[in-house]
Chains A and B, each alone.
Chain A
Amino acid sequence: MCLAYPGKVVQLNGDFARVDFGEGTVKEAVNVSLVQAEVGDYVLVHAGYAIQIVDEAEAKITLQYWKQILSAMPEDRAAYEREMKGGLY
């Protein structure tokens, strides 16, 4: 039961927050009492509750690690870069 989605806190209302999951999906009343979230933070939401804050800096580091793994395979990297054209997603 690990189904949780990251979303951005766009508004705080006491114990609840409006969270934007992107692509037009917004949940109006996510319970944030289990975390200390500010507007602009990304939170992991599981069954209507935010269970943890997502650290954006760490996310970037993980993506860098992925790039390192890919660069270890030079023949694949050229094809990969052509496909991605500079952006990861």
Chain B
Amino acid sequence: MHVCGSHEWTITHFGIRTLLPENVEVRSGPGCPVCVTPAADIDAAVKLSVGGATILTYGDMSRAKGSGMSLYEAKAAGGDFRVVYSVHDAVKIAEANPAHEHVFFAVGFETTAPPTAYEILNGPPRNLTFLTSYRYVPPAVEAVANSPDLAVSGFMNAGHASTVTGMKAYEPCFNKTRKPMVFAGFEPIDVLISIAMLLRQIADHAPKMENEYTRAVTWEGNLRAQAAMDKVFDRVDGYWRGVATIPASGFNLREEFQEYDTRVRFGLKETPGNEQFVPEARCGEVILGKIDPPECPLYMKTCSPASPKGPTMVSNEGTCKIWADHKVLASMRCRI
């Protein structure tokens, strides 16, 4: 199993599953941050945008629905949002409009959190606050490894997230679960070599933490980025939409940065959202890697990239969108 939307893209785009032997199956695990962003957080962003704040966020986040509208749909109701490529753009936009409240909807994994931490440490403009909904992947890998109905034989770990955290972030999970682990890059060659490494570990009954992506991943990772994250964020339990609450898998702003915390600035209450997906949609099972997109009754019938019914079809890292964009219409389970 891999846990990264970008890995799923490489695998599907280069037809890697079609090259594998019959007894090898690559599952697409929870690697799409937009897909697992709680409806409650999306609802909060929508409410703020309709209330007059300008929400700044990544493109696919703006099209994900919470309990009701997405940010994109809220525009028709008078809500304001703008798509940004980076948190730095959000800072520049807020600086250019000092009289107006801006909210950066901070979604992503540990790859994306360090730049935000950096901007907060750098002193953002007073009219910019951060609505954080970051998730931390290693605890999710542990949760999946412990799940008997997923029966994962080994993990292809998220290469770019690991450039930040270092391989060391997975040591506790590895020691507890003893699942084969390979830290994998994103070129098709990287994925193929990583699969070969995992199969070697499995065949030899010799699980280890192995690095395929040696040109970018080290044991220690990026210490500057880690230090910035530690200063700014506290690790708390995180709810992954469609999955579960996973311990220590969320990031909240530390108390000393309260003035930049959207929830504090706007006095947001912990309002639960409707975390369910639309009836008949099996987004949660796709997110976990339990099923392939074609096993959902809506896939490429009522749900498609032009008319998405759930976040896995909205997000660029969602398994359903990736498969749909490549016109994959059949399940790719192993044939044994």
Is B88 engaged at the interface, CB distance under 8 Å to the other chain? yes
**Best-surrounded residue of A1, A48, A55, A61 (most CB of chain B within 10 A):** A1
Interface of A is mostly: mixed
- Interface: B16 (CB within 8 A): no
- By a CB distance below 8 angstroms, the chain A residues around B4 are 2
Q: Name the one of A34, A53, A59 contacting B115, with C-beta atoms under 8 angstroms.
A: A34
Question: Which of B58, B118, B185 sits near A31, CB closer than 8 Å?
Answer: B118
Contacts of A52 in B (CB 8 A): 160, 163-164, 216-217, 222
Which one of B58, B193, B225 contacts A51 once the chains associate, using CB atoms below 8 Å?
A: B225
B5 contacts partner chain A, Cβ-Cβ < 8 Å: yes
* CB closest residue in chain A, given B163: A52
B317: CB under 8 A from chain A?
yes
Q: Would you call A55 and B216 a contact (CB within 8 A)?
A: yes
Known contacts A34-B222, A34-B224, A35-B224; A48 and B193 CB within 8 A of each other: no
B317 close to A1 (CB less than 8 A): yes
> How distant is B269 from chain A, measured CB to nearest CB, in Å?
28
Question: A44 near B: Cβ within 8 Å?
Answer: yes
For B160, what are the chain A residues with a Cβ–Cβ distance below 8 Å?
A: 2-4, 44, 46, 51-52
Number of interface residues of B (CB under 8 A): 45
Question: Is B111 part of the contact surface with A, judged by Cβ < 8 Å?
Answer: yes
Interface residues of B in 29-58 (CB under 8 A from A): 31-33, 58
Q: Which residues of A contact B164 (CB under 8 A)?
A: 51-52
Q: What residues of chain B lie closer than 8 Å to A63, measured between beta carbons?
A: 189
Given A2-B158, A2-B186, A4-B160, A31-B215 contact (CB < 8 Å): no
Q: What are 11 A-to-B residue pairs whose CB atoms are below 8 Å?
A: A1-B33, A2-B6, A44-B160, A44-B163, A49-B118, A52-B164, A52-B216, A55-B216, A61-B214, A66-B189, A69-B192
List B residues at the A interface (Cβ < 8 Å). Answer: 4-7, 31-33, 58, 85-89, 108-109, 111-112, 114-115, 118, 158-161, 163-164, 185-186, 189-190, 192-193, 196, 212-217, 222, 224-225, 228, 316-317
